[in-house]
Structure 1
């Protein structure tokens, strides 16, 4: 299974703030809010709708006051129709504003979500293999899905509630002060307490939220690995162990979630209780003033109505403040993805050759470590020129694939350098260099879609006839032609409808179609039979003329045909030369060659015996 991470590791990879630092990061939120500010037109209309709605809420209480005062003063219902009409007009305006801002906020949310996801995805595409080595796929998926949804909800709906709440509280507060400053101050008296409660709760809420998000990321990664590695898990009967690991992580998530939800659940009722106390205090004092004749009935009724609404914005803002606290961990994570600096610089200062030719690749004193100081490659030097095929052979774990990845510039050397046409390959634009490579892996990836689309992946402009020719060269045409829908056959997710050998042949055809200057084959024919491999080698002969090829292989037929052979062991090139030179050296390569020859001879003997036995059985059946 891929590397997994503890909560602390996920928060301390030079990307995330210390989990003990629970302060609200205003700089972080200002940066995220720029994704909403980008749409100033929509934002302005939303602000107007929210502001008008807030003022309308205040107007209901004011109209009610005027209505009650008018009836109490005049003792008739002559103006009742006028006041009723004003209330209806205010209700219609309120309804229109609600429809308008809900539509616009939903649209604004979708646009902001698109922009955040796009920026994160663009930066992910720039990263080297090292970035993905350290992060489970599920962890990255969570950033672009659940984290993004959570943030855009806050950035849009929280803004709407803030505008609406501010407009309502300012308009109500102003009118309340004008009508009766003493009652207004009673209403405002407990606002400092609300601020104090908010400050007290925010640290604990943010800490538990970070625990929830971190554990959830681990669960997503674990679940993704369990699904992608289901064949291995079932073959080793590891279902119980997987379930136990998943259950432990889920239990941790449950505990963290309960703590977080408990704090949030306690926080909101406290806010509502404080608001109710303020409302009760205002109504009590107002009632006494009314009995004493200090205020009229309309003012008291208006205050009673306003107090019901006055603390609603405070409660909503408190709710969104809590959400911002809990979502800050999500914000930190998605910004960490956006801000990740690519380990490999894609810009180049040297102009590529006009004909895109690569005449030589010179690996000079290259060393590399995935996790310094543990070196995987140590002081490797070898050179290949156009027209040559260099075979990288040696025991498993020696560093062959790592060296091939460095040649492809998927990783860069820790020390030393790779020269292309005599120039440090880091000086060429990365996009140009990679476009000249054809890479075929032992376990190639086949995308969802048809076989035709998969072969055409490296050259979208290729005609059908070019695709067919590449498939024939790769030895893939025969099995494709036997399928019900031929080249239009769906490969399935990850090539699930194809065998390992078929996927290798499609991958080889894909590389051939791209017509690369450098071909890198990493056990590319390990899942095909010997006859098919010979067919592929014959087809590649013309392609490889005046082109470079690096081959990682164990089959003698592939090794013997190589121009040069590098025997790599423990991260070092122990022997380098032609097949004959290394046999004469009678060293590590010669020993491996003899063992491989013996193994292939035994396998051939068994194959011949099986064939003879089958022929005898067929002859007996014919006679009988």
Structure 2
């Protein structure tokens, strides 16, 4: 059931504060002005993976094995380097003596530096060259290690990708369900474009960020730990040099990341605002042209577009500084490791293969840190979007349905009673206070009054789009708060001032009032609402496809479609909110006859300004400032000379003559 909105609501909104909502040329206010909680948002985002913890655990195990195998690779490859280096040096030495004899001879000659170098070379045999068989065996072993590591890494990514897709699916589902539980007041405060941006652009950005960062972050963390362990086993001294880069890297990432996070949040806030402008301007493009506001709209779009470009450039540029800075730190670390490692090789305390392996470990140790730093922009962008999505999920919900709801027992009689009802949009600005109104079954009640008097608010309260502050509203003696919203609204048919159609055929739009209706019922409803009069002039008849704007249908024809939908739903209660405001006078006369049939044996609430829709009402209720100031029949209120009589003289006196004349002409014909 679509929520009811009219000028009364807009006036009430003006009383409770400005609303930057839909409207041609309007712009949106984002809801993300509060400070970003990057750490808390990331923690909550990771918490969404809890249902996937089994697969994530398997992925972590596979990733750990993959990293371990990859970490062993450089060490094993260092063995091949030692064999090659030993072969090259051994070929240059005289054959027939052992390494120990050669080292002792060099020390006796006082060449201790060369002796230390030769003593540190494993597998050295003077006069013997490279052992290609051993080198080949080692290379095959390294190849096997890396192949298995790559396969396990691919399996880890495959499992994580599936888990992330299911998490995002669940997030979209939760947001969709959340939107159905939010009160109408939430949508009053949120521009449509901004809200759509949160549930589309922001969720897509969260998905992209998780897909591109989660597996890499997991691999990076495991790699850092594995490389650190391997480095310590090779050389504690060189490990200390390499570890010194960690606090420097963390400090750089923290300083730059703190500045860029605010800009990323501003970027997605600006995206939502720009989306709101585009959506609102497109929806109201006719008004924009009619009132000559194209230049102002384009200027507003350009201003918001500039803000988006500025925020996006700043966020990407500042976060992009992390990678070059991390590269500088990594290169400095590489130079130090090479210098110290070279000195230790010449001193005989390390083999050349160990230095080579350590250099690889050092590069692999700093590379994940650099990768994490380079992903900072993705992480911050995803966190900013996630925070905006979580703001929707954390929004206050409407009052839940009762745990043990009451029952109406099928079709209701339709007796509605407002008993001492009070309501306000804002606590400090009362709108309705102590209102009492009883509508007997089958009666038609017309509600009239100036804009902002609270006419549509009464209907919203009856439908539980808003909850009353005090008193109660009953349907057949049952408090509507004791019913589920579905059961309550299932009894109601509505025809609103603003028509609402969806993409589909004319048949589908009429059948929306009662799913599963037969073709005969649909055509009968169309005939009763005079849709059948014009539908045959369309190219495909009832199969003509219309979009949300109604396509080639006129405003009156779209209104007739919504009336046919109400006919088909066969409601116990009928709500007509300026239902004939978009049709010509002759069509209005036809609709009035149809409305008379539609209102038969149904309790009807008619919100109207036009006399033709309320003169035959059983009771006319006149509202001012949220109070009922008069009620009675048309003749009684005119004779009373009060508020209704003033409205009658001001708005309807001249029109009544024309309508009565047309009624007479219609009866003659």
Identify the residue that residue 60 of structure 2 maps to in structure 1. 47
* Deviation (angstroms), 1:358: 4.4
What is the rounded CA distance, in whole Å, between the counterparts of 1:78 and 1:110 in structure 2?
A: 48
Shift of 1:8: 8.2
2:445 is paired with a residue whose SS is: strand
Measure the CA separation in 2 of the matches of 1:293 and 1:398.
Answer: 95
User: Structure 1's 101 and 401: CA in aligned 2 closer, same or farther, altered over 3 A?
Assistant: same
Task: Tell me how far apart the structure 1 counterparts of residues 37 and 594 of structure 2 sit (CA, whole Å).
Answer: 64
Which residue matches 2:216? 161
Query: Quick one: distance in 2 between partners of 1:11 and 1:371?
Result: 22
The DSSP-based 3-state class of the residue aligned with 2:504 is coil
CA–CA distance in structure 2, aligned partners of residues 604 and 353 of structure 1 = 40
1:281-331 deviations in whole A, cap 9, x for unaligned? Answer: 111110111122221111111122222222111112233455434433322
- Give how far 1:235 is off: 0.9
Distance change in 2, residues 1:126/1:303 (3 Å): same
**1:507: Cα distance to partner?**
0.8
Residue 11 (structure 2) pairs with residue 11 (structure 1): no
Aligned position for 1:497:
552
Equivalent residue for 2:49? 36
Output aligned runs, 1:439-454, within 5 Å. 439-454=494-509
* 1:232/1:370 CA distance change after superposition, 3 Å: farther
* Whole-Å separation in 2 of the counterparts to 1:111 and 1:46: 15
Q: Name the residue aligned to 2:387.
A: 332
Please say which of residues 1-10 and 473-482 is displaced more in the overlay.
1-10
Within 2, Cα distance between the matches of 1:397 and 1:496?
Answer: 32
Matches within 5 A, 1:298-447: 298-347=353-402, 349-447=404-502
Report if the CA contact (8 A) 1:348-1:427 is conserved.
Answer: no
> Structure 1 residues 255, 371: CA separation in 2 closer, same or farther (over 3 Å shift)?
farther
Indicate how the Cα distance of structure 1 residues 376 and 503 shifts in structure 2: closer, same or farther if over 3 A, else same. farther
CA distance in 2, matches of 1:378, 1:322: 53
- Displacement of 1:264 in angstroms is 0.7
SS of match in other structure, 2:629:
strand
TM-score, normalized by length of structure 1? 0.89
Q: Deviations over 1:369-415 (max 9, x none)?
A: 33443344444332112110001122333322222222222122344
Which of residues 628, 631, 645 in structure 2 aligns to 1:590?
A: 645
Matches of 2:171 and 2:68, distance apart in 1 = 33
1:140 and 1:123, CA in 2 relative to 1: closer, same or farther beyond 3 A? same
2:401–2:482 contact (8 Å) kept in structure 1: no
CA drift at 1:554: 2.9
Secondary structure of the corresponding residue to residue 593 of structure 2: helix
Larger radius of gyration: 2
User: Is the contact made by 1:69 and 1:298 (CA closer than 8 Å) also made in structure 2?
Assistant: yes
For 1:558 and 1:344, locate their aligned partners in 2 and report how far apart those are by CA, in whole Å.
35
Structure 2 Cα separation of the partners of residues 597 and 286 of structure 1: 99
Question: Equivalents in 2 of 1:176, 1:596: separation in Å?
Answer: 90
SS at match of 1:512: helix
Judge which range, 352-361 or 49-58, deviates more: 49-58
SS at 1:554 equivalent: coil
- TM-aligned CA deviation for residue 180 of structure 1: 1.6
Residues 203-233 of structure 1, C-alpha deviation per residue, up to 9 Å, x if partnerless? 3222222222222221121221111111111
Which of 522, 538, 545 is 2:600 aligned to? 545
Instruction: Determine the C-alpha separation between the residues in 2 that align with 1:23 and 1:3.
Output: 26
> How far does the alpha carbon of each residue in 1:551-575 deviate from its partner, in whole angstroms, 9 at most, with x for none?
1123333212111001223333221
Distance verdict in 2 for CA 1:473–1:374, change over 3 Å: same
1:25 pairs, out of 39, 48, 51, with: 39
Superposed CA deviations along residues 252-298 of structure 1, whole A, max 9, x for unmatched, are 22332333223212222222222222222111110111122221111
Write the distance in 2 (CA, Å) between the matches of 1:228 and 1:301. 66
1:156 is displaced (CA, Å) by 4.5
Give the equivalent residue in structure 2 for 1:62: 75
SS in 1 for 2:545: coil
Q: CA deviation at 1:172?
A: 2.1
SS at match of 2:73: helix
Write out per-residue CA displacement over residues 64-112 of structure 1, whole angstroms, 9 at most, x where no aligned residue.
2011112323532122321232233234324433543444333333221
Q: Paired residue for 1:483?
A: 538
**Worse-superposed segment, 415-424 or 580-589:** 415-424
Distance (whole Å) between structure 1 residues aligned to residue 464 and residue 413 of structure 2: 15
Change (3 A) 1:167 1:489: same
- Counterparts of 2:651 and 2:249, CA distance in 1: 78
Farther-moved stretch of structure 1 (597-606 vs 459-468): 597-606
The equivalent position to 1:240 in structure 2, one of 270, 278, 295, is 295
2-side partners of 1:9 and 1:81: how far apart? 64
In the alignment, the residues of structure 1 paired with residue 283 and residue 597 of structure 2 have an alpha-carbon distance, to the nearest angstrom, of 38
- The range that moved more, 219-228 or 57-66, is 57-66
Q: Provide the rounded CA distance (Å) in 2 between the counterparts of 1:430 and 1:398.
A: 26
Counterpart selection for 1:150 from 189, 201, 205: 205
Tell me which residue corresponds to 1:126: 181
Q: By how many angstroms is 1:433 displaced?
A: 0.5
Alignment correspondent of 1:459 = 514
**In 1, are the aligned partners of 2:418 and 2:473 still within 8 Å (CA)?**
yes
CA contact (8 A) 1:105 1:157 kept: no
- Counterpart of 1:574 in structure 2 is 629
Moved more, 402-411 or 278-287: 402-411
Structure 2 length normalisation: TM-score? Answer: 0.84
Indicate conservation of the 8 Å contact 1:348/1:428, yes or no. no
Distance 1:305 1:419, change over 3 A: same
Q: Alignment RMSD, CA only?
A: 2.7
Alpha-carbon offset, residue 440 of structure 1 = 0.8
User: Is contact 1:449–1:491 with CA below 8 Å preserved after alignment?
Assistant: yes
Is 1:471 aligned to 2:487, yes or no? no
On the 8 A contact 1:7/1:215 being kept in 2, the answer is: no
Residue 321 of structure 2 aligns to a residue whose secondary structure is helix
CA distance in 2, matches of 1:540, 1:252: 52
| More displaced 10-residue stretch of structure 1: 468-477 or 193-202 | 193-202
The answer as to whether partners of 1:362 and 1:381 remain within 8 angstroms in 2 is yes
SS of match in other structure, 1:277: helix
Could you say which residue in structure 2 is the equivalent of 1:599? 654
Once residues 274 and 101 of structure 1 are traced to their aligned partners in structure 2, the CA distance between those partners, rounded to angstroms, is: 30
Residue 351 of structure 2 corresponds to residue 296 of structure 1: yes
Q: CA deviation at 1:119?
A: 0.3
What residue in structure 1 maps to residue 119 of structure 2? Answer: none
- SS state of the match for residue 472, structure 2? strand
Alpha-carbon distance change, 194 to 121 in structure 1, aligned in 2, over 3 angstroms: same
Please say if 1:524 is aligned against 2:579. yes
**SS at 1:25 equivalent:** helix
Q: Report deviation, 1:477.
A: 1.6
**For 1:166-181, what aligned pairs fall within 5 Å after superposition?**
166-181=221-236
Q: Report the counterpart of residue 619 of structure 1 in structure 2.
A: none
